[in-house]
Amino acid sequence: MMMIAYFERRQQQQQQRLVPDGDVELDPDHSILRALDSDATGDVAGAASRDFGGMVFLQPARFLRPSTADDIAGAVVLAARSSRLTVAARGNGHSVCGQAMADGGIVLDMRTLGPGMEIVRCGGTTAAAADVPAGALWAEVLSWAVRNHGMAPVSWTDYLGLTVGGTLSNGGISGQAFRHGPQVANVTELEVVTGDGERLVCSPSSASDLFFAVLGGLGQFGFITRARIPLVPAPKMVRWIRVVYGAFDEYARDAEWLVTRDDSAAFDYVEGFVFRNDASDPVSGWSSVPIPHGSAFDPARIPADSSPILYCLELALHYDHIQADNVDERAKEMLRPLRYLRGLEFAADVSYVEFLSRVGRVEEEARASGTWATPHPWLNLLISSSDIADFDLTVFKRVLSRGIGGPMLVYPLRRSKWDERMSVAVPDGELFYLVALLRFVTPQAGEAAVKEAVAQNQEILSHCRNKGYDFKVYIPHYESEADWARHFDGDWTRFIERKRRYDPMAILSPGQTIFSRARPPAAVAASAS
């Protein structure tokens, strides 16, 4: 897949289709369009035609604001009756390759979906869950659950400005996933509108195939309108720790040991990142490590023979004020066996909400510097632990030794925490690493820098393929059927069968570029006559 070629081709397509063609069959007086506050001008050219990636621009025919699942079903039925309309659900538009767009089709603004969030008690037990609309941001779920109920979900993303439906359609990964599984493994019931416009409630015990299809299903089998997410009592405080390593093998050995410990001896959160052995790089050098921010990083602690790349393990321990007395002891005990560079450890005590909201500060800084609005050629990979040392040697130490202008995350996850019945594709090995190359391009750097970053991503992908790594792209984007078949590998047939079952005309989520919209039988017959 050549993303540059793709980018240029999409721009050409857009120029050709600024006016939706005559076959689009969108009668502006249609009751659904009138009821859903459709806007054919302002917003169509705005939010619905762009995303966080800032590299793909596709103009929809309509941007609708549904407030109920029935509104969504109505829009899907309207599209099904046409000969070529497609429908995309837009969460918060934080995709990077146009996945939430519909070229000349209908985009649904899932943020407007109601009703509000509510607590449910499960099966007459005291266990609680939250029923939340799919367009709610995880930040909204956090603040509602903690403030009103003293409860919280167990599995998060690093950044909380993402929608529940958006991350459940992909995976939802953060430092809790090694222990509790990703967000797709922490949901017990979904309400879904399928490609037939049918509204169904599904769970592991009822309509289970649809339930698992939709989880990590890239929006292909149905739009999630409501999700039931188990809650636990929210911890009050977090001991947030960072420790630095000079050698990748020691970093990886410790990280893998930490994510395979029994729950009783495990941290509550394990992540990690690569940073440059360099004082002068303000984004990915030494200064990116210390917490609380402003505390000193002593370079004398770095061995003289260290590589240009260093590693930082990020850990967290939950505690309540009542237990505060022993958190020092617990943290000390848990850090003792680790082989990090003594003297390069950092810690801060923050509230649970503050900890989970930590990336919000990064967002504020990026908005202020202008890098939130520039293109984001991001690449996320899941790479088996058997290949990660080679990846470190070739990619981190050589290809990316000058940094990427943003965070480079690398930390292990466990396959056994993912359910194989879900659609999401992960590597075969039990331990695999999330590698997230979160590139930020300064406004001054311009388009050449974006193209260079995209080309570098391609080089990295080619390297992974050529070396035969056991790996997957996370938040994938491919153009050809062959690439999608390779991505899903042994599950590709199941993916196609599920598409036939739940969205036979391929109306849903065209921005993923997996399937082409099929014409309804009547339209095919009419065009043939």
Residues 461-480 that bind ligand FAD (CB under 6 A): 475
Rounded CA gap, 431 and 384, in Å? 6
Please report how close the Cβ of residue 162 comes to ligand FAD at its closest, in angstroms.
4
Among 104, 105, 181, 219, binds ligand FAD (CB under 6 A): 219
Of these, 155, 163, 288, 513, which contacts ligand FAD (CB under 6 A)? 163
Residue 93 engages ligand FAD in binding (rule: CB under 6 A): yes
Nearer to ligand FAD, 45 or 359 (CB): 359
Q: Is 511 in the site for ligand FAD (CB under 6 A)?
A: yes
CA distance 123 to 118: 16
165 is an interface residue for ligand FAD by CB under 6 A: yes
| Binding segment toward ligand FAD, per CB under 6 A, in 151-159, 284-292, 324-332, 387-395 | 151-159
Per-residue contact string for residues 8-47; x = within reach of ligand FAD by CB under 6 A: ----------------------------------------
Taking the least distance from each CB to ligand FAD, the nearer of 384 and 512 is 512
182: left (phi over 0), alpha (psi -120 to 50) or beta: beta
Residue 45 CA to residue 63 CA, distance in Å, equals 10
Q: Binding of ligand FAD at residue 155 (CB under 6 A)?
A: no
CA distances from 163 to 110, 309, 348 (A): 8, 34, 28
Residue with Cβ nearer ligand FAD (159 or 245): 159
Among residues 94, 180, 376, 477, which one is catalytic? 94
Cα angle: 183, vertex 188, 193; to 5 degrees: 90
Residue 375 interacting with ligand FAD (CB under 6 A): no
Least distance in Å: CB of 126 to ligand FAD? 29
**Nearest CA-CA partner of 58 in 509, 478, 511:** 511
- Closer residue to ligand FAD in complex, CB, 88/237: 88
Q: Please, which of residues 169-198 interact with ligand FAD by CB under 6 A?
A: 169-174
Closest CA to 130 of 203, 67, 188: 188
If binding is defined by CB under 6 A, does position 210 make contact with ligand FAD? no
What beta strand segments (E) does 219-376 contain? Answer: 222-233, 237-245, 269-276, 309-319, 345-351
How far does the chain reach from its first CA to its final CA, in angstroms?
38
Q: Of 44, 69, 79, 100, which lies in the binding site for ligand FAD, with binding defined by CB under 6 A?
A: 100
Site string for ligand FAD, 53-92 (x = CB under 6 A): -----------------------------------xxxxx
Q: Which of 25, 37, 131, 158 is catalytic?
A: 158
Q: Are 122 and 134 in contact (CB under 8 A)?
A: no
Decide if residue 460 touches ligand FAD (CB under 6 A): no
Name the E strands within 237-329: 237-245, 269-276, 309-319
Alpha helices by DSSP H, listed for 196-247, are 208-214
DSSP string, 129-173: EEEEETT-BHHHHHHHHHHHHSEE-S---SS--SBHHHHHTT---
Render the burial of 358-375: b for 16+ CB within 10 Å, e for the rest: bbeebeeebeeeebbebb
Q: Which of 271, 278, 392, 503 is catalytic?
A: 271
Q: Output the smallest distance, CB 302 to ligand FAD, in A.
A: 28
Q: What angle do CA 399, 170, 174 make, to 5 degrees?
A: 65
Residue number with CB closer to ligand FAD (302 or 461): 461
Task: Tell me the backbone φ, ψ of residue 242, rounded to 5 degrees.
Answer: -130, 135
Cα separation, 296 vs 287, in Å, equals: 9
The answer to whether 95 contacts ligand FAD (rule: CB under 6 A) is yes
Residues paired with residue 398 on neighbouring β-strands, in sequence order: none
Of the candidate residues 62, 94, 111, 199, the single one contacting ligand FAD (CB under 6 A): 94
Among 157, 456, 457, 513, binds ligand FAD (CB under 6 A): 157
- Alpha carbon distance 285, 166 (integer Å): 32
Query: Which is nearer to ligand FAD, 172 or 195 (by Cβ)?
Result: 172
| Neighbouring C-beta atoms of residue 501, cutoff 10 Å | 15
Strand order in the sheet with 309-319: 345-351, 237-245, 309-319, 269-276, 408-414, 431-437, 379-384, 471-474
The CB-of-379 to ligand FAD minimum distance in angstroms stands at: 12
Task: Assess whether 419 carries a catalytic annotation.
Answer: no
Tell me the two tokens of residue 375: 């293109």
Catalytic status, residue 94: yes
**Does the protein bind ligand FAD through residue 413 (CB under 6 A)?**
no
User: Could you tell me how many residues of this chain bind ligand FAD (CB under 6 A)?
Assistant: 35
Give dist(CA 215, CA 228) in Å, integer. 13
134 in contact with ligand FAD (CB under 6 A): yes
Q: Which is nearer to ligand FAD, 112 or 306 (CB)?
A: 112
Out of 158, 281, 354, 479, name the contact with ligand FAD by CB under 6 A. 158
For ligand FAD, give the closer residue by CB, 65 or 339.
65
Concerning whether 180 is annotated as a catalytic residue, the answer is no
Residues that bind ligand FAD (CB under 6 A): 52, 88-95, 99-100, 110, 134, 157-159, 162-163, 165-167, 169-174, 218-219, 223-224, 475, 509, 511-512
The residues annotated as belonging to the active site are 94, 158, 271
